[in-house]
Amino acid sequence: MISLQNVEKVYQTTSIETVALDGINLEVQQGEFLSIMGPSGCGKSTLLNIMGLLDEPSAGDVILNGSKITGYSNKQLARFRNQNIGFIFQSYHLINDLKVIDNVELPLLYRNMSRKERYDLSVEALTKVGLKNRIDHFPNQLSGGQRQRVAIARAIVGKPTIILADEPTGNLDSRMGNEIMDILLKLNEEEGTTIVMVTHDESMALKTHRLARLFDGTWVEEKAFQH
Amino acid sequence: MVPGSKKRLFNTKSFDQFILTQFIISSIMIRNYIKLTWKVLGRNKFFTFISLFGISLTIGILLVVASLFDNMVNPSYPEENRARSLHLMNLKLEDGQGASWIDDATPYFINDFVSKLETPEAVGMVSKPEKHICLSFVGNNKLKLDLRYANQAFWDIYTFDFIEGGPFQQSNVDNRDLVAVISKKTRDEYFGVNQSAVGKMINTDYDRFRVIGVVEDVAKSQTVTYGDLFVPYTTAKGGLDSKHFLGEYIGILMAARKRDVKKMETEYQALIDRLDIPAPTESWQKNLKIFTSETLTLMESIAINIFWGDQKESAARNLRLLIVIAILLFLLLPALNLVNLNASRIFERSSEVGVRKAFGATPKTLMVQFIVENIILTLIGGLIGLLLAFCILQVVESAEFFQNASLGINYRVFVFGLLLSTFFGVMSGVLPARRMSKLNIVNALNGKIV
Ligand SMILES: Nc1ncnc2c1ncn2[C@@H]1O[C@H](COP(=O)(O)OP(=O)(O)O)[C@@H](O)[C@H]1O
Ligand SMILES: [Mg+2]
């Protein structure tokens, strides 16, 4: 499903060179829920961005759903993301001046889809996260947990096979965090969506299938859990 | 599919199908762009208002300038045929030793030579403005009337609106009838506001004329057609029997079509070249050797009006330069300003750009989105600007110099405004949109726009 082979990422700034990822190999199976932990600045976000085709590796290959991504044009990348990947960010990244429903339907705008189809799918996604009755609200009228649920609805509205979540509960208290986690677990269980999640919260990681620890751009530990 | 478009270049069904699909896809896209724009503009109402304010003001002022310019280069009532006409000027006689005489033409020159030219459809003449100020009395009030002597063709060339009556005919000219066409202003002052005047007599210290027509007023800035009283030139007291060239009459040549103007000019110059200078009848006419004359096209006459005292060629050159500078100042600066305005409007949204790209917007889609947004914004701004310009022009119109000029927003100015708005929309959208659409996604998400 997701395969990274010798992925390196080096950030070149004026004077210093930062090696964010140093020869990363990773295999994520279809339907797997992987969590990634590690101290701040160890390269977790960089890894997730490369997996999600938001950023290019300095070296190495990314293979998603059996396609080797290297050499794709911007347009091909955009189309691939649109069809296959849903993103969830720590700070939600909702568009504040758009209503909840318009935020959720955003990925569908870049498919050729009728207005009605888009609306129906968006309502369906919002129902799954329990926010059906909030479609006409604006993000700033919602709590943090609710906002993140809108972001999840946006990530799943296009029925992607992969969800990438970068510290989705990082800004939330534990009760709200657990709500979010439950939604992700349910999504993984019922729809078989492959999920890769970066987290700082060990208790969250324990609920997933596998935990991988990153330190200074390389793997240091890997644990699988039986539930 | 458009009927009949088949089997032209690509006689294959699949090609038609392809075009059809492309067409449907792009029309869906455009609808989405427009809807999205509504949402975006409705979002940050304050910023939208500020943008619109700037755009409206810019376009409003440009439209006022355009309207004034339009009024200048497309003289309206009654000079609608100016573009296919030439005005004669600078009839010049020289003795070859440094002495020269410059003036307008005599009826003899116009009737016996210019009227014989083949290209002109009509050859008109009218005496200079402010040459014959005649006096008239209404009770104890003294009226100063600018009297213009004209021939019959004058009425064919200029499209005067007659409130009542009509122009004088060739027979009136031939018979030296004391008839007059008067302006509305003259009628109102002499006969009373909105009183019928045709058939009544108007007394002046020149002659006593019978009014046969009343025309709408002409702005004083239109020196050839402005006047209070138009009468047959044959009723003039002097200058009629001169057999020389220089006199007080402005000659007007009108071609059937605009593209014949050049030919008309050539034919006129050929006439000037072959004319012999008439035998002197007055002392100053002795020893004259050289006769030259010029014609003025519309642009040239505008040019020499602006650049007084210049030769027509250099004046026209200066006018072109002036237009370029004006365009730079009036188009480029506001455009840059709008680029700036829109850039900050667009750059504000870098995190949104990141999100949209992450979820599948291509650089091209985003670019088009931003440009459509900008065009719609500027079009709305343009519309408000149009209203603004309309109001300003109402005020300008009441100023002395433009008295009687109709400065309204005509279709030319309207189209100009439309093009202008689109131009600004594209111009001010493309650069920031390009930059945004090329933004690295991760940076965009983090709000870094470098
Ligand atoms: N755009 C960038 N330019 C330069 N260095 C960067 C950039 N993004 C991240 N880095 C560096 O790469 C390393 C990994 O960053 P990141 O992946 O964000 O870590 P994490 O998400 O684990 O906190 C850090 O040292 C960070 O400073
Ligand atoms: Mg991070």
Structure tokens at A76: 């091909």
Which residues of B fall within a CB distance of 8 Å from A166? none
Q: Is B382 on the interface with A (CB under 8 A)?
A: no
- Select from B45, B348, B355 the residue whose CB has the most chain A CBs within 10 Å, as the one to mutate to test that interface: B355
Residue B447 makes CB contacts below 8 A (sequence gap 6+) with B350, B351
Q: Could you tell me which of A212, A222, A194 has the C-alpha nearest to residue A1? A: A194
The domain ranges of chain B are 30-74+319-445, 100-286
For residue B144, the tally of other CB atoms under 10 A from its CB is 11
pLDDT band at B346 (very low <50, low <70, confident <90, very high): confident
Q: Give the pLDDT confidence of B221-230 residue by residue, as tens digits.
A: 788 999 999 9
Does a cis peptide bond (omega within 30 degrees of 0) precede residue B107? no
- Residue A90 within a domain: yes
What is the model's pLDDT at position B65?
79
**Amino acid found at B377:** L
Q: Is pLDDT larger for residue A66 or for residue B214?
A: B214
The pLDDT of residue B339 is above 50: yes
What is the model's pLDDT at position B121?
96
Ligand 1 atom with least separation from CA of A9? 12
A54·B441 Cβ contact <8 A: yes
The pLDDT of residue B348 is above 70: yes
Count of structural domains within chain A: 1
- Residue A213 within a domain: yes
For residue A212, the tally of other CB atoms under 10 A from its CB is 22
Q: Give the pLDDT confidence of B312-330 residue by residue, as tens digits.
A: 888 888 887 887 787 777 7
Closest in B43, B352, B361 to A78, CB measured? B361
Which residues of B fall within a CB distance of 8 Å from A74? 362-363
Ligand 1 atom with least separation from CA of A217? 14
Specify whether the CB–CB gap between B172 and B234 falls below 8 A. no
pLDDT band at B1 (very low <50, low <70, confident <90, very high): very low
Structure tokens at B193: 């506001």
- Residue A22 within a domain: no
What is the model's pLDDT at position B284?
80
B39·A98 Cβ contact <8 A: yes
The percentage of chain B sitting over the pLDDT mark of 90, rounded to a whole number, equals 38
Domain that holds residue A191: 32-40+74-224
A106·B359 Cβ contact <8 A: yes
B360·A54 Cβ contact <8 A: no
Q: Is A106 on the interface with B (CB under 8 A)?
A: yes
What is the model's pLDDT at position A214?
96
Nearest ligand, measured from the Cα of A47: 1
In B42-151, which ranges are E strands? 85-94, 100-105, 120-127, 133-138, 141-150
What is the model's pLDDT at position B88?
92
What is the model's pLDDT at position B9?
47
Which residues of B fall within a CB distance of 8 Å from A79? 360, 362
For residue A83, the chain B residue with the least C-alpha distance is B360
Ligand 1: residues with CB < 6 A are: A 11, 13, 18, 20, 38, 40-46
Q: Whose CA is nearest to atom 12 of ligand 1?
A: A20
Angle at which helices B363-397 and B45-73 cross, to 10°: 50
Q: Give the pLDDT confidence of B227-273 residue by residue, as tens digits.
A: 999 999 999 988 788 899 999 999 999 999 989 999 999 999 999 99
Write down the H helix ranges in chain A. 44-51, 74-84, 100-109, 115-128, 144-156, 174-191, 202-205
What is the model's pLDDT at position B367?
86
Q: In the predicted model, what is the mean pLDDT of chain B?
A: 84
Give the residue-averaged pLDDT of B295-318.
Answer: 80
Q: Chain B: nearest CA to A226, how far in angstroms?
A: 33
The pLDDT of residue B203 is above 60: yes
Specify whether the CB–CB gap between A199 and A35 falls below 8 A. yes
- Residue A24 within a domain: no
Which residues of B fall within a CB distance of 8 Å from A81? 358-360
The pLDDT of residue B7 is above 60: no
Residues in chain A where the model's pLDDT stays below 70: none
Instruction: Report the C-alpha gap between B304 and B296 in whole angstroms.
Output: 9
- Residue A111 within a domain: yes
pTM above 0.80, yes or no: no
- Residue A48 within a domain: no
Q: Is B440 on the interface with A (CB under 8 A)?
A: yes
- Residue A110 within a domain: yes
Which residues of B fall within a CB distance of 8 Å from A98? 39, 43
Nearest ligand, measured from the Cα of A10: 1
CATH assignment at residue A148: 3.40.50.300
